[in-house]
Structures are given as C-alpha cells and as structure tokens.
Amino acid sequence: MSSTTTTLKGQIGEVVVHRWDVDDPTFAVILAHGFGEHAGRYAHVAAALNGIGGTVYAPDHAGHGLSGGERARADKAEDMVTDFAAVGELAQSEHPGLPLVVVGHSLGGIIATRYVQRYAPPAALVLSGPVIGGNPGFSALLTMDPMPDVPLDPAALSRDPKVGEAYLADELVYHGPLQRESLQGLVDEVELIAQGGTLGEVPTLWIHGSLDPLAPYDATAAAIEVVKGPKLEAKSYEGAMHEIFNETNQDEVLADVTAFLTRTLGLD
C-alpha cells in the first residue's frame, strides 16, 4: 500500500495531507496524529481502515511533519482544529454522501473532540489515548521558572522497544523539549473541551492503555465523563502504554476499531 499527499492552505501555513485511497470506498476517514509526530506513522492504521472500505485523509498538523509552521508548537490548537475541519471538507467534497469517520490519537484526540464540538457531527468517532483530561505532571511544569527541558521519553510509547527506536530515528518527529507556549496551549484546549459540550449522539469508541504515562488513564476518564454522549463505548488495554496503535497488541486494537466501525456504519 502506498500513500499520496495533497496540500491545503492552513491557518498558519501549508498543511500537507497524507492520503491512503481505495477504489469504491464506503466511508471516508480523517485522522489526527499526536504531538511532535506526523501522519506518516499511521500507514498501518490506514491499511486496516482501507481493508474495510475506508479512504483515509491524515494531515500533518501545523508545525509537524511536512507541514509549515514553527516546529511542534501547539499554542494555537484551535487553528489545528480549523485546519482539520478543512481536511474533512476535502474528504466530503471528494466523496459526497459517504459517512465521515473521525479518528484522533493523543493531541489528535483533543483535535478530534473539538472538531465534534465545533462542527457537524461525523458518523463515528474513535479516540485513542486522547489527552482531553490533560496530564497533571506536565501541567505542573508551568509553575516552574525556568521551565525544565523535558523531551519525550520513547519508552512511554510502547512495550515494544522497536517502536521507541524507530521514533528516535524518524527525522520528521520532533525530538526537542516541550515548549512553555505549547504546554499552555494544550492546557487551554483541555479547558475548552471541558466547557465545549458533549459528543452528543455521535457513536464513539474510546480506547486507552491502562499504563499510559502521557495521557494518564484516570485524568482522561474524568474528562470523558464530562463530554461523553449516550453512544460511548470504551475499552482499556491492560499494561499498554501511550501509542496503542503501536503496542505489542496492536492487532487486537486495530481489530477492535474496525469491528466498531463495521458495526456502527453497517458495513457487514
């Protein structure tokens, strides 16, 4: 499977959108990646979605991957949501009438949740390790002056050490410290989500690693209680870390996602 790219004019600069297309799709997907990484790391997720008839659009957020903007800045996360909505408009214009599915991981879970709060409801929503409840440990850094440099520990991503090795070797991944402006932007966005209303009637699958150190399970669960609608399904994976799509049980995780979408969209 190979991907192509297209570009859109974003709020800050050019946004590069990765695409994994299928012939005669039955639904379209817009996928939001996490902080510091890029959409190219989701080729295997796109392959699983392609396998059940989904055509996938995944932008590199502003300041990430191949897109323009200062590296790994998240102080204008609402602009990322606006850019993400433009990707949704592209997907729907190219596939009119097809159900739209939204998938978001980590920071992408913040973006996906705000997308649902701000725009027309999609046919389904998948949240993977969403940081919608913040991370108290990281938030505490804002009280320090100067704020210490805290680069991401790749051991937090997966129990599979090869995932961390590939992450460190990936030149499109941001490997520097978390900036104060970005952290404050993420904290502000978490507050917006808490005040932004529920997910309504959108069928939602929330999946999470029980030992996720970046989006702590308990903090996320508390936030889910605030925003959840009546059609929420949830599953945690015992012992799993942050990137459950890259965990040692990733086949189980992807099977759960495709089963949820197959049932929700009536694909079988």
Residues 126-137 as b/e (b if ≥16 CB within 10 A, e otherwise) read: bbbbbbbbbbee
Residue 104 bridge partners (DSSP): 32, 127
Spatial contact of 37 and 171, defined as CB atoms under 8 Å apart: no
Catalytic residues: 106, 212, 242
Pairing of strands 14-20, 54-59: antiparallel
Question: At which residue do the structure tokens 């505490």 appear?
Answer: 140
Q: Cite the DSSP H helix spans in the chain.
A: 43-50, 77-94, 107-118, 136-139, 161-169, 180-195, 217-227, 250-265
Q: Is 89 in a helix, a strand, or coil?
A: helix
CA pseudo-torsion sign 146, 188, 75, 71: positive
DSSP string, 103-117: EEETHHHHHHHHHHH
Closest CA to 143 of 194, 184, 188: 184
Provide the token pair at 180. Answer: 């104060």
- Judge contact between 121 and 202, C-beta under 8 A: yes
DSSP assigned state of 206: E
